[in-house]
Amino acid sequence: MKTSAASLRKKAAQIRLLLLDVDGVLTDGRIIVDDRGVESKHFHVRDGQGIALLKRSGIEVGWITGRSSKVVHHRAKDLGLTLLFQGVQDKLYVYDRIKKKLHLTDAEIAYVGDDIIDLPVLRRVGLAVMVGDGSAELQVVADYVTAAPGGKGAVREVSELILKAQNKWLGLLAG
Ligand SMILES: [Mg+2]
């Protein structure tokens, strides 16, 4: 981790949009395919709660994934996400489009990734996060490495980091 705790908090305090890779970040990276070719994945309920808390606090959340599946569509719909981009080969291109559409700056965007396809976006965002079990290649650009591995609460950890830096966490606990 190259970023000090104070600097990390400062970066997290500015975030207005959290962008997430799906496979290996919201899931443990395993893709289960049945004999009809239908995919299933495991999502973690606390990651979903973290996303809901961010949205309730006025922080946007979006998913950008290189793959495309119905299960991801359904989970995103479950969570009320409107920013879902599947089958994306050039994540930086989509990143720039979202940034422009929402009138945001790089400093206001956080991204969580687990593999080298995520590097171009991680190099650009204000808060670059890799999951604990992500590819070692990401360590050079990551401001923060989650203690949790992908699919096991990593997104919840980042959600709390952002909400605490913005002094919104305790208010959410109070309900
Ligand atoms: Mg991934």
Q: How far is the CA of 134 from the centre of ligand 1 (A)?
A: 8
Q: How far is the CA of 175 from the centre of ligand 1 (A)?
A: 33
Residue 1 has pLDDT above 90, yes or no: no
pLDDT of residue 98: 98
Band of residue 173 on the pLDDT scale cut at 50, 70, 90:
confident
Band of residue 2 on the pLDDT scale cut at 50, 70, 90:
low
CATH superfamily of 5-168: HAD superfamily/HAD-like (3.40.50.1000)
pLDDT tens, 110-168? Answer: 999 999 999 999 999 999 999 999 999 999 999 999 999 999 999 999 999 999 999 99
Residues whose Cβ atom is located within 5 A of ion ligand 1: 21, 23-24, 114-115
Q: How far is the CA of 170 from the centre of ligand 1 (A)?
A: 31
Distances (CA, A) of 143 to 77, 81, 91, 119, 121: 30, 25, 19, 13, 13
Q: How far is the CA of 70 from the centre of ligand 1 (A)?
A: 17
Residue 3 has pLDDT above 90, yes or no: no
Boundaries of every domain in the chain: 5-168
**Collapsed DSSP state (helix, strand, coil) of residue 5:** helix
Q: How far is the CA of 74 from the centre of ligand 1 (A)?
A: 18
Handedness of CA 85, 152, 168, 162 (dihedral sign): negative
